[in-house]
Chains A and B, each alone.
Chain A
Amino acid sequence: MSLLKVQELKKHYALKGLLNSKAMVKALDGVSFEVKKKQTLAIVGESGCGKSTLAKTLMGLEEETSGQVFFEGVDSKALKGKSLYQTIQMIFQDPYNSLNPRKTAWKIIAEPLLINQKVSQKEAYERACQLMEKVGLRPEMANRYPHMFSGGQRQRLGIARALILNPKILICDEPISALDVSIQAQVLNLLVELQDQLDLTYLFISHDLNVVKHIADTVLVMYLGKVVEYGRREQIFENPQHPYTRALLEASPNIFEPEKEHNPLAGEPPSPLNPPQGCAFHERCPQATERCKSESPDLQERSSRMVSCFNLGS
């Protein structure tokens, strides 16, 4: 049984406009995937494709419009509250913004514990120190304020905070994109180590394909709230099928082929307020046909992964 199973998750925001009061932003439009224990699912896509909305919806910060989320076969609606917080936790992108500047390190880490479990201040302090050690911070720094830590250390604090409730799943919302490149590798390695030690399952949201290649077991490529390709990492990276996935991979810098030629995608992702008819990608797709303009493709299994495209040959 998969640890996390998401079925046809939709999140639509109603906009109160002056003219078109029924405008809907389809931030998530039927997203389905599963993750097995100790696996890492990378969620990839341009900004505005619904990655962060997916994270917020899974965390229960946003109410889903429709669809279901199962944690170990249990509907997330039955899990609301404490057991949800103890199942899934989150690491944030910006380590400068996601820690309360007025709290000391150990208070920040221990806060989820103090809210959700009956523990004394002293126990919480000790637990926080243990976790600091686990994420590679000296426990002597427990009484420092966030501004006394470097970016990488702050991100470690954020990781420690997310781990203190012993969650099974960790959502990493671009956890390293705000860090220096040299620090990125350290934090990434820490995440990999912690996964081994604590049997964690990661949902790794990123737009850095080199990082994804390093850490992911499965990859989910999103475009405008929809899944365009979903499969094992090797499959996606070595043999991308969807034209969007191919364009993403080509656009990603590669030191082994610095001079490689590629045709960058023209234009910007269309506004989710007014998505194009048919396949959401057809306006930028080099292979678009008449059919793509009128019909929207469904996810289909092809070359041992799921793709939503009409023009894949046989």
Chain B
Amino acid sequence: MQSNIEENKSDYEHPLRDFWVGFSANKGALIGLAFILFFVFLAVFAPLLSPHSPSELQENALRLPPSFYEGGNASFFFGTDDVGRDLLSRLIYGARISMGVGFLVVFLSASVGTLLGLMAGYFGGKVDWLIMRFVDILMAFPSILLAIVVVSVMGPGLFNAIVAVAIVACPSFIRIVRASAMEERKKQYVMASKTFGASSFRIMFSEILPNCMAPLIVQISLGFSDGILNVAALGFLGLGAQAPTPEWGIMLADARAFISSDPWLVTLPGLCILFVVLGFNLLGDGLRDTLDPRLKK
């Protein structure tokens, strides 16, 4: 208690410092952040960390088990896949692709979705009608089917797959932001800011948006995992990342045939996806707890 009072006496506290005090008290969030930082580290320093090139074929070392198993080879720590590529190197390079994919999908879908959702929620009326009918149309398609349609129009490839998945992910952002914006718009502080001449733009982004952040942040963390999974699914169908690319989803798909004979080929990329997704979810929860002052102690 004493320290609290002391803190309040300080004249001007930087908001980031305040944020870190709350955030670091949340163990789950720190673990999530650690996972994410670990994979970001792998992604950034992939060429230095990986022992082999991810596309180098070892003709005499097909489907080697991890080195700590019987028959393993010390130079292939996690073993090799069905065409003799070092699994560890591919997993490390895969972090690059998955993190990039997740980031791009979330960046595209969240920025477009937030803008449209804010406009729909704040202006209401015809703007809302138009945006929500667009959302209804998008939601009427199964998401992967819609992504396939978009990719077939634009042509296959990793970047096109990212754009397609981002379009598919938009409606959830629009809906979440719109629902919160409609809630906030009715509150008197919005009317108050009109009484001293705040512009619609300012009200939307400075007054309403910060109050919609809690659900938006959770959706962003889910968006990462959804994005990674959907792009992987497109890759599996031959519409996303193309074959030699070390993408975890493709690695999973390619190794499906060996799930009983060489289970590590499926397990390891699967674990990577699991930890990345878990990391983002833990981080999202922690951010929500910290960023919402109403949940603060």
The size of the chain B interface, using a CB distance under 8 A, is: 23
- Residue-wise interface mask of A (120-147) relative to B, using a CB-CB cutoff of 8 A (1 in contact, 0 not): 0000010000000000000011111101
Closest to A61 in B: B194
Contact B202 A115 (CB under 8 A): yes
Alpha-carbon distance between A283 and B214 when the two chains are bound, in angstroms: 52
CB distance from B270 to the nearest CB of A (A): 39
CB distance from B46 to the nearest CB of A (A): 39
* Residue B193, interface by CB 8 Å: yes
Contact B196 A98 (CB under 8 A): no
Contact B293 A145 (CB under 8 A): yes
Alpha-carbon distance between A141 and B12 when the two chains are bound, in angstroms: 10
* Residue A85, interface by CB 8 Å: yes
* Residue B188, interface by CB 8 Å: yes
Contact A125 B293 (CB under 8 A): no
Contact B188 A85 (CB under 8 A): no
Which residues, 1 to 60 on B, are CB-close (under 8 Å) to A? 8-9, 11-13
Residue from A101, A116, A145 whose CB has the most chain B CB atoms within 10 Å: A101
CB distance from A145 to the nearest CB of B (A): 5
Closest to B9 in A: A140
Contact A85 B197 (CB under 8 A): yes
A-B pairs under 8 A by CB, number: 69
Q: Provided the pairs A115-B202, A143-B12, A144-B8 are in contact, do residues A98 and B192 lie with their beta carbons within 8 angstroms?
A: yes
Contact A125 B187 (CB under 8 A): no
Q: Which residues of B contact A99 (CB under 8 A)?
A: 189, 192
**Which 9 A-B residue pairs are closest in the complex by CB-CB distance?**
A112-B196, A98-B188, A102-B210, A97-B188, A100-B189, A145-B293, A85-B196, A85-B197, A92-B188
* Residue B262, interface by CB 8 Å: no
**Given A97-B189, A103-B210, A115-B198, 12 further pairs, Cβ under 8 A:** A61-B194, A89-B195, A90-B195, A92-B188, A92-B191, A98-B189, A98-B192, A100-B211, A102-B293, A112-B197, A140-B8, A147-B293
CB distance from A215 to the nearest CB of B (A): 22
**Which among B8, B195, B202, B210 is the interface contact of A61 at CB below 8 angstroms?**
B195
Alpha-carbon distance between A102 and B188 when the two chains are bound, in angstroms: 14
Q: Which residues of B contact A141 (CB under 8 A)?
A: 8
Residue from B11, B188, B192, B202 whose CB has the most chain A CB atoms within 10 Å: B192
Contact A61 B191 (CB under 8 A): yes
Contact A111 B293 (CB under 8 A): no
* Residue B285, interface by CB 8 Å: no
Q: Which residues of B contact A158 (CB under 8 A)?
A: 192
Q: Provided the pairs A112-B196, A140-B9 are in contact, do residues A94 and B188 lie with their beta carbons within 8 angstroms?
A: yes
* Residue B82, interface by CB 8 Å: no
Q: Which residues of B contact A85 (CB under 8 A)?
A: 195-197
* Residue A82, interface by CB 8 Å: yes
* Residue A191, interface by CB 8 Å: no
CB distance from A98 to the nearest CB of B (A): 4
Q: Which residues of A contact B187 (CB under 8 A)?
A: 97-98
Closest to B192 in A: A98
**Which among A81, A90, A100, A102 is the interface contact of B197 at CB below 8 angstroms?**
A81
Closest to A86 in B: B196
Residue from A59, A100, A116 whose CB has the most chain B CB atoms within 10 Å: A100
Closest to B194 in A: A61
* Residue B207, interface by CB 8 Å: yes
* Residue A161, interface by CB 8 Å: yes
- Residue-wise interface mask of B (56-98) relative to A, using a CB-CB cutoff of 8 A (1 in contact, 0 not): 0000000000000000000000000000000000000000000
Q: Provided the pairs A92-B192, A101-B293, A101-B294 are in contact, do residues A116 and B197 lie with their beta carbons within 8 angstroms?
A: yes
